[in-house]
Chains A and B, each alone.
Chain A
């Protein structure tokens, strides 16, 4: 109870300030974003849509400078500029949603593998996955608005485009708004349901006098992992790959998975270290941190392996219909594209290789922040080139999006952490986990 009250205190001290800050940031982004109303399209779509249109067109025209930029080009640039705040919103929303989904997968794996070291961290993971439902619903709403033409994020959702595009026509059996939303609803329902029941069983186990809840949770987790692998893969086709409906890649689902998995593990490590520094997780020792850091290190390399496998196969064969994906990225996104490789691979590789550094909290926190930023850039690189093309900036809408969702994430997660005891009471492995030493 004391721990719970303390957590509540921390939750309220740390969270609302960031949410307010975030909202302020987003609000100020609306005020002065780009000298016109691009920024505000993110949340005030209805009332500013007309103004936005004119302002951006004017902007595009001044840029055109009397050159032979035709109406088609203006139209194209206009769509891209209009997409920018939407994409910024979507990237941030998806990134934070993906963190909690990655944590959920990690949690299910720990349960299914009957890991002896991690039960001490289960409540932290359950706290982080509390963001799954609200975050997932926000992403779903953005997706629904996208396919209902509030924006131009998905070109395949635009009937006019599809009418002139034989390739998308061929895919419309899969990529059509109704089926798209039904799939999204099924994925989200499955994930949220697992999270709900698993947490319920986990809490029931604390009060029970046998291990039946634990066994049920084990079976549920194993079942969830099967469901998750299939749905995660399809989710990555739907929610990310379909931004480029002409392009396809078979290992894309794994690639997105690696990205969310490593971000999720990093977030677990950061929140664990934070709670420990506040004296709330006394029994977490540096061996637990060491294990989390090993996972951060290993999955970072796994991510790089998949990134490179995808890149190198396409680069090597250089089939035009596939290579265009990387050409647009390398041409217009050189810094984020290769920068993320340094952040997500070289930096953790060199810093987390040493076994002693993996036990030092500030090292893990520093690498964790770099990894999280690197994977934000990863999502940025996957989404932006398809939606805003060369008109990208890392400016006010993007930062506003990050701050808003970071604030929301922190608020929900720390709020959820106050709701339960941070230490599971009678998990069969909890004693082993307490004594864990590597």
Chain B
């Protein structure tokens, strides 16, 4: 089913911010906003919920720490407790200081890499992915707001032009 969306193009992030507030005050649902750079405060103005990426990173870090401890406990203490240069390999705690650098690095490694991968998955980014950009100019110096149309085309156009859009166009969009 094809549905119609309206595209409003802006040239200034301040105007865009005011437009977002206005559109939201009129209870129109903003589908998406395309910007060339991060606009500070845009997520708050749009009412997007906070990211939980930091929480996943913490959990991944815990996982990395567990992997490090389990691995070294098995290899160095349980499987083959050799005497290497007089290091006490009787129990994990006895020899723990020597393991800390690895524990630290693996914690950071897991937290960082798994979080990045989570980010790619959640934002659907991968090589050879087809770009979803509706207008080339939004990668340079234009801002684009996309709003779904539910039989209120003219009223919406009016409102968007009022907010300072330099260009308002209606597009067919494959759902």
Report which A residues bind B (CB closer than 8 A). Answer: 308, 311-312, 315-316, 318, 353, 355
Task: Determine if B58 and A312 form an interchain contact, defined as CB atoms under 8 angstroms apart.
Answer: no
Q: Are A315 and B97 in contact (CB under 8 A)?
A: yes
0/1 interface trace, chain B 97-137, chain A, CB 8 Å (1 if under) = 11010000000000000000000000000000000000000
B86 CB within 8 Å of chain A? yes
Question: Hey, which chain A residues are within 8 Å of B58, CB to CB?
Answer: 353
A-chain residues with CB within 8 Å of residue B98 when the two chains form the complex: 312, 316
What are 12 pairs between A and B in contact, CB < 8 Å? A308-B97, A308-B100, A311-B97, A312-B97, A312-B98, A312-B100, A315-B97, A316-B97, A316-B98, A318-B86, A353-B58, A355-B54
Closest CB of chain B to A312's CB: distance in Å? 5
Give A312 to B100 CA distance when docked, in angstroms: 9
Q: Which residue of B lies closest to A355 (CB)?
A: B54
Q: What are the nearest 4 A-B pairs in CB distance?
A: A312-B97, A315-B97, A316-B98, A308-B100
Instruction: Add 9 more A-B contacts to A316-B97, A318-B86, A355-B54 (CB < 8 A).
Output: A308-B97, A308-B100, A311-B97, A312-B97, A312-B98, A312-B100, A315-B97, A316-B98, A353-B58
Residue of A nearest to B87 (CB): A316
B-side contacts of A355, CB under 8 Å: 54
Q: In whole angstroms, what is the CA distance A312 to B95 when docked?
A: 11
Nearest chain B CB to A221 CB, angstrom units: 31
Chain A facing B: main interface SS: helix
A30: min CB distance to chain B, Å = 42
Q: Across the interface, which residues of A come within 8 angstroms of B54, CB to CB? A: 355
CB-CB nearest in chain A for B98: A316
Nearest Cβ on chain A to B103's Cβ, whole angstroms = 11
Bound-complex Cα distance A311 to B101 (A): 13
B56 to chain A, nearest CB (A): 14
How many angstroms between the C-alpha atoms of A316 and B58 in the bound complex? 30
Residues of B within 8 A of A311 (CB): 97
A420 to chain B, nearest CB (A): 35
**Closest CB-CB distance, A116 to chain B, in whole Å?**
16
CB distance from B43 to the nearest CB of A (A): 15
* Residue with the greatest number of chain A CB neighbours at <10 A, chosen from B58, B86, B97, B100: B97
What chain B residues lie within 8 Å of A353 (beta carbons)?
Answer: 58
Please report which residues of chain B, range 61-93, place their CB below 8 angstroms from some CB of chain A when the two chains form the complex.
86
Q: Which residue of B lies closest to A314 (CB)?
A: B97
Nearest-neighbour CB distance to chain A for B98, whole angstroms, equals 7
Distance of A315 Cα from B98 Cα, bound (Å): 9
A318 / chain B contacts, CB cutoff of 8 Å: 86
CA of A353 to CA of B62 in the docked complex: distance in angstroms? 14
A308 to B98, CA, bound (A): 11
- Chain A residues closer than 8 Å to B86, beta-carbon distance: 318
Separation of A20 and B97 alpha carbons in the complex (Å): 46
| CB-based nearest B residue for A311 | B97
Give the residue name and chain of the B residue nearest to A353 (CB): B58
A304 to B: closest C-beta gap in Å: 11
Docked CA distance A285–B65 (Å): 36
Q: How far is the CA of A345 from the CA of B122 in the complex (A)?
A: 33
Q: CA–CA, A308 to B99, complex, Å?
A: 12
**CA A311 – CA B98 in complex, angstroms?**
11
Assembled-state Cα–Cα distance A311/B100 (Å)? 12
Whole-angstrom distance between the Cβ of B91 and the nearest chain A Cβ = 15
Write the chain B residue with the least CB distance to A308. B100
B20 to chain A, nearest CB (A): 19
CB distance from B125 to the nearest CB of A (A): 25
Q: How far is the CA of A353 from the CA of B58 in the complex (A)?
A: 9
Q: How far is the CA of A355 from the CA of B55 in the complex (A)?
A: 11
Complex Cα gap A407–B1 (Å) = 75
Complex: A318 Cα to B97 Cα, angstroms: 12
* Smallest CB gap from B54: residue in A: A355
A311–B96 alpha-carbon span in the complex (Å): 12
Residue of A nearest to B55 (CB): A354
CB distance from B55 to the nearest CB of A (A): 9
B100: chain A residues within 8 A (beta carbon) = 308, 312
Q: How distant is the Cα of A315 from the Cα of B54 in the complex, in angstroms? A: 35
Which chain B residues (129-174) contact chain A, with CB distance < 8 Å? none
List chain B residues, Cβ under 8 A from A312.
97-98, 100
Give Cα A137–Cα B58 distance, bound, in whole angstroms. Answer: 46
Q: How far is the CA of A316 from the CA of B87 in the complex (A)?
A: 8
Nearest CB of A to B104, in Å: 9
Q: Which partner residue on chain B sits nearest A318 by CB separation?
A: B86
Q: Whose C-beta in chain B lies nearest to the C-beta of A305?
A: B104
Nearest CB in chain A: distance from B42 CB, A: 16
A318 to B100, CA, bound (A): 17
Query: Separation in Å of the B25 CB from the closest CB of chain A?
Result: 23
Residue of B nearest to A356 (CB): B50
CB distance from A325 to the nearest CB of B (A): 15
Bound form: Cα–Cα A312–B104 in Å? 14
Chain A nearest CB, measured from B11 CB (Å): 26
Once the chains are docked, how many angstroms separate the CA of A353 from the CA of B100? 20
